[in-house]
Amino acid sequence: MHNSIYIGVIGAGICPDRTYDLARDVGFEIGKNGWTLVCGGLEGVMEGAAKGCTEAGGMTIGILPGLDRDTANPYIRVPIPTGLGDGRNLLVVRASDILVAIAGGHGTLSEIALALKTEKPVIGLETWNDINGVLYASDFRDAIQKIEEILDKKPKSKG
């Protein structure tokens, strides 16, 4: 029943409009492909991605740092309050098959690093440079293509 691919989108809670729109483009493609979006549930990049995914009819999960479901942005279909603060970053990583990092600060960097530590693919868009292991993409289309390439190589039973 839940045989979807889960794509985590990670990025800052505050971002310029340009970055928000980039996240929305990525989210839209995630929804269009029938993948599930996982994110931290708050504003900025997380909201942009969730908005795009929702617009494409996709499912959105927000794993929240606090205890209050109402802190989720309005495009989160399933909010999961954790009360773990930055500890929820690890849960975003663990719930995702592949991650897309969009811009971001130290929180995003921690998620990139935790994902790579557990050998999950991380695709980077205008984010921290020169992190070995990150697959850097030139734009949202390139990012989606990289996801598809990874999925093509995976055994079909996965996800």
On whether the CB atoms of residues 3 and 159 are closer than 8 A, the answer is: yes
State the number of binding residues for a second copy (CB under 8 A).
46
Contact between 74 and a second copy by CB under 8 A: the answer reads: yes
Tokens standing for 135? 């697959």
Give the helix ranges, DSSP H, for the chain.
17-32, 45-55, 88-95, 106-117, 140-153
Q: How far is CA 132 from CA 61, 80, 113, 126, in A?
A: 28, 31, 10, 15
Q: How far is the CB of 141 from a second copy (least distance, A)?
A: 27
Contact between 72 and a second copy by CB under 8 A: the answer reads: yes
Return the half-sphere exposure (C-beta side, CA atoms, 13 A cut-off) of residue 7.
Answer: 31
Q: How far is the CB of 72 from a second copy (least distance, A)?
A: 6
Positions 4 through 63 that interact with a second copy (CB under 8 A): 6, 36, 54, 59, 61, 63
Q: How far is the CB of 45 from a second copy (least distance, A)?
A: 15
Q: Which residues bind a second copy (CB under 8 A)?
A: 1-2, 6, 36, 54, 59, 61, 63, 67, 69, 72, 74-87, 89-91, 94-95, 105-107, 109-110, 112-114, 116-118, 129-131, 133, 159
